[in-house]
Structure 1
Amino acid sequence: MRADHASYACGAALGFLGDLATGDPRRGHPVAAFGRAAAAVERRLWRDHRGSGALHTALCAGGAAAGAALLARTVRTLVGPSRAADAALTAATTWAVLGGTSLVREARAIGDALAAGDVDAARERLPHLCGRDPQALDERQIARAVVESVAENTSDAVVGALVWGAVAGVPGLVGFRAVNTLDAMVGHKSARYRRFGWAAARLDDAAGWPGARLTAVLATLAGPDPRGARRAWRADGGRHPSPNAGPVEASFAGALGVRLGGTLTYGGRVEHRPVLNPGGRPVTAADIPRAIRLSRRVAALALLTTVAARSGAPQGSGADQERVNR
């Protein structure tokens, strides 16, 4: 394994373990700081126009990736070629952009509330995990929302970032998280963001495409019913309105033997989504721990897969290759 690949592998593994051990801090998280900066830029640029939204997306996502590249270059300039420094920067960045432990923590809290029969507490906690309107949801609908969110965010909060880290190192990690955060902020179809958020949503679709497919593959391989996962993915993954959530949620549905999709409400807006794995049974609270275990297995396999893929690459890219050539 080449030196740059070895330092990336070490850093990515340490960052993954850091997220596993600590999760996201309640205050001072770098992603939250990026969100505040993006909101400030939005206040200056907002117009009900796609062009303004595209400029906002380019400045925020491009600026984050460029800033990460500049930071990596600055560290190398100050420290010199150093595997330890490269690994430390990769570890810190990986920890900052991954959200797997926070995802599991929120899902488990809702599952525990449902298991205790406290549906009101589960409703109160649900907005920490997803943007659905919780008040009209019964126990099974809450459980379904949690399983769908665990599936989708396994890709968004873990696998997608690891994929882009393997492709482009620290700038890839930061750039993906910036794009995904912008999509969460402005990429929905509300009256304010239908045009302004179009660019962020489309860029997130493109950036999330490889991670979503890897998530679906790994959920199929790691789940309790590989044949069911593969069948649901092939039959129903393309029916979802999101090109990336569809394969992920369908593969999780098939792997767990449950039925996902259907009617849901966001911000008072009712959506009727296709049912994924219609032959499955309705989701119950007992399926939340099963979805969490599958998410954990997929995340660990994604780390191994992406590190192996980067280690097998014939050449480093960008700043990695520059360092090797010196």
Structure 2
Amino acid sequence: MATNAVKGAETTSHEIMRGVDLSGKFAVITGGSGGLGYETARALLAAGADVFIGARTPAKLAEAAKALRESFPERIIASIPLDLAELPSVDTFADAVLAIDRPIDLLIANAGIMACPLERNSAGLEMQLATNYVGHAALVSRLAPALRRAGMARVIAVTSSGHHFSDIRFEDPNFETSEYDKWIAYGQSKTASSLLARKVHGAMSADGVTGLAVHPGFIQTDLMRHLSREDYLAMKDRTDIELPTSRTYKTVEQGAATTLFAATAPELAGQFAYLEDCGVAPPATRRDTLNGVMPWALDEQSAEKLWNQMELLSKRTMPLG
């Protein structure tokens, strides 16, 4: 695999994938029915990979899979609905992926929800944490044997600069004893996404599995469906930047570029990293910026503690060994 693009915030998926050959590779992508997930699937298929996509809404997923099959009739394209907030749905999805009986070269934990009103899943977990982290953690656990079979696999967790809003609230991750704040909950879940990649890398790198966290940038996708202008103003109050405008948002092709860089860049093999703008993000030391990575999103001990805590709260053992 090789990438030829001059990399930065304006780099597109087409530029990143120029010259990349993924023939014979198998990728699993959550949230593949639209936005970044769909563009990621499209770009991987164009490079020769086969893909298995999941998404929560069956009709949208079927429409996306149909469009991809029409564009890439020579590729294997599989799909099944996936509700990451509910572990039985994760198991059904994992069973379908494993039934194909192929090594998994790329697992892209792309799906997520953002700043939604307080909800809990059937196990009582706060919905953003359940969807953005716990469901993906359970999926990685189920697919771990197939990832190891690939020899040089990558698990890519799509996180966000929103992780600046909160470290993991180990004392009350589900807002059971404190007032719910959807931005704090979102920030916690995106810190958790980065720690997912950290945990996977620590547990599986000796077997050739690289864990990477990706911040795609500001993109207008369905992820923002819950946001009002007041929400944007509340987000601005937590940062030192102007709100994104039509001129500062990335396109979907630009947003997917960092995920595709994580999936294909040879120099990333074997190293954990938090990526933004198609490169390793610089460290951040304050919460009032939306660039760079806070140290709590990289912490190996926090990654282990969170994994263990979520196993207890979800009543689910999630082995990676």
Higher strand share: 2
Query: TM-score, normalising length from structure 1?
Result: 0.26
| Higher Cα Rg, which structure | 1
Higher helix share: 1
